[in-house]
């Protein structure tokens, strides 16, 4: 798809996405600030954090896992060959726009059965995944199946997936500032086998 040279800034695709993210961020800060703080607390207090999502949401949540590792948290991406068993007291952080992704819901049920906690980011406050979670952030974005254009001009859950990245970075930022650790102190945890 080519961008027409006569596009104005107001209808440029980057402006469309930036405006949607700005609106979404304002709504999250207004509606979900206490839940955000509870999720940050849960991440800080968990002995280990496991992250799980599918598709693009999974890729977005892996970015959060990396940042949490930079903070020094013991974090694992579910499905990696070296991921240990989740146990009592651990936290499973999930993301699913629909809140019904079967593999994620099944993992949440398993986590609860061994005494772990579940947290989620979803668009569906009444979903099975949200019901299982002790902390659930509801993102006001279109779900993957919503092609109406009413909730977002973007395709197939794009705004939700972007919100997972933003929330993950915001959680990192909040926890980093709580820690009082400098950027120089975090740097040695960055990958050096590149």
pTM over 0.85: yes
Task: Give phi and psi for 22, each to the nearest 5.
Answer: -65, -45
Residue 140 has pLDDT above 50, yes or no: yes
- CA gap 72, 183 in Å, rounded: 12
Over range 128-135, report the average pLDDT: 98
Helix ranges restricted to H, 46-148: 55-71, 102-113, 128-132
CATH topology assigned to domain 12-175: Rossmann fold (3.40.50)
Residue 147 has pLDDT above 80, yes or no: no
Residue 180 has pLDDT above 80, yes or no: yes
Residue 66 has pLDDT above 90, yes or no: yes
> Active-site positions?
161
Q: Pick 153 or 126 by higher pLDDT.
A: 126
Residue range 4-29, pLDDT digits in tens: 555 577 789 999 999 999 999 999 99
Helix axes 13-45, 158-179, angle to 10 degrees: 50
Model confidence at 107, pLDDT cuts 50, 70, 90, reads very high
Model confidence at 151, pLDDT cuts 50, 70, 90, reads confident
Residue range 33-64, pLDDT digits in tens: 999 999 999 999 999 999 999 999 999 999 99
Model confidence at 144, pLDDT cuts 50, 70, 90, reads low
């Amino acid at each position: 798809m080519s961008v027409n040279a006569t596009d104005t800034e107001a209808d440029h695709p980057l402006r469309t996405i930036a405006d949607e993210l700005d609106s979404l961020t304002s709504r999250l800060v207004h509606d979900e600030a206490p839940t955000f703080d509870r999720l940050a607390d849960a991440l800080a207090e968990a002995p280990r954090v496991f992250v799980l999502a599918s598709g693009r949401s999974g890729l977005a949540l892996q970015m959060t896992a990396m940042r949490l590792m930079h903070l020094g948290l013991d974090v694992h991406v579910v499905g990696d060959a070296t991921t240990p068993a989740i146990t009592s007291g651990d936290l499973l952080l999930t993301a699913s726009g629909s809140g019904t992704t079967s593999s994620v819901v099944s993992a949440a049920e398993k986590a609860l059965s061994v005494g772990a906690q579940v947290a989620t980011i979803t668009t569906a406050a009444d979903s099975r995944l949200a019901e299982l979670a002790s902390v659930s952030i509801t993102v006001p974005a279109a779900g993957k199946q919503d092609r109406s254009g009413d909730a977002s001009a973007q395709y197939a859950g794009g705004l939700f997936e972007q919100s997972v990245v933003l929330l993950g970075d915001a959680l990192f930022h909040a926890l980093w500032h709580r820690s009082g650790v400098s950027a120089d102190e975090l740097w040695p945890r960055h990958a050096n086998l590149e």
